[in-house]
Each structure stands twice: as structure tokens, then as C-alpha cells.
A = this chain, B = another copy of it.
Amino acid sequence: MSKKESITTRKADPCAGSCPVGRAAQILDGRWTTRIVRDLLPGRRRYSELLRSLAGISPKVLSARLHFLEEEGVVSKTTYPEVPPRTEYELTARGYRLQPVIAAMAAFGQSLED
């Protein structure tokens, strides 16, 4: 989808801001977001650890998704003034409220293999 098309669609979508499922879908949009949240559920992770555990994600996409999740208040970032600087990410209270969504998705995904 082109950027222009995406913006046009968002404008034309009265549900986007108001319906709860649409709001959750906006936050979980993309093929990586749920996996980033899943990998943060056990606790805080360094950027490099996420890059490793999310095999196949590009550094650019991981940074963009983490930044988006920070803006949405789902993830918080801490940078330690070390050399080299260490950056860690963890779920906020809001982020942990996604746990039932991830659990339901895991159960559904599991059922596909039965």
C-alpha cells in the first residue's frame, strides 16, 4: 500500500479511532508487532536480543516498530549511558494488557496445527 493510499484510507475510516477492535488492530498492525510484544512478555530485552530472537526482521523495521509501540505507550525504552550505550525495552502496564491477545493468538495458531 502506498503512503498516500494509507493516509487516504485512514481518513476515510470512521471506525479507526472509535471501535475497540479497530483500535487494537491499529496497534498490532504489521506482521512483526505481535511477535515483538510476545518476546517482551517475559521481561525487558536489549535491542540486540530482540534482533536475534525475531529472526528475519531488519534492524530498520525493528527500530520503526519499537518507536511506534513507544508512541502508543505499549513499550518503554531505557538507555544506559555506558560505552557503547545500552538500550533496553520493556512493556508498559498498557503493554502487558496485550497478554490475553497474544495468548488467544497462540491458542488459535496452535489449533491450526492440530
- Bitwise interface map of A from 70 to 114 toward B, beta carbon under 8 Å scored 1, else 0: 000000000000000000000000100110111111111111110
Which of B20, B35, B38 makes the CB contact (< 8 A) with A108?
B20
Q: How many residues of A sit at the interface, in one of the four size bands? A: 35 or more
Closest chain B CB from A32 CB (angstroms): 8
Residue of B nearest to A26 (CB): B31
Stoichiometry (number of copies): 2
What does DSSP make chain A's interface, helix, strand, loop or mixed? Answer: helix
Residues of chain A at the chain B interface (Cβ within 8 Å): 9-16, 19-26, 28-35, 38, 54-58, 94, 97-98, 100-113
Contact A106:B9 (CB < 8 A) given known A56-B14, A111-B97: no
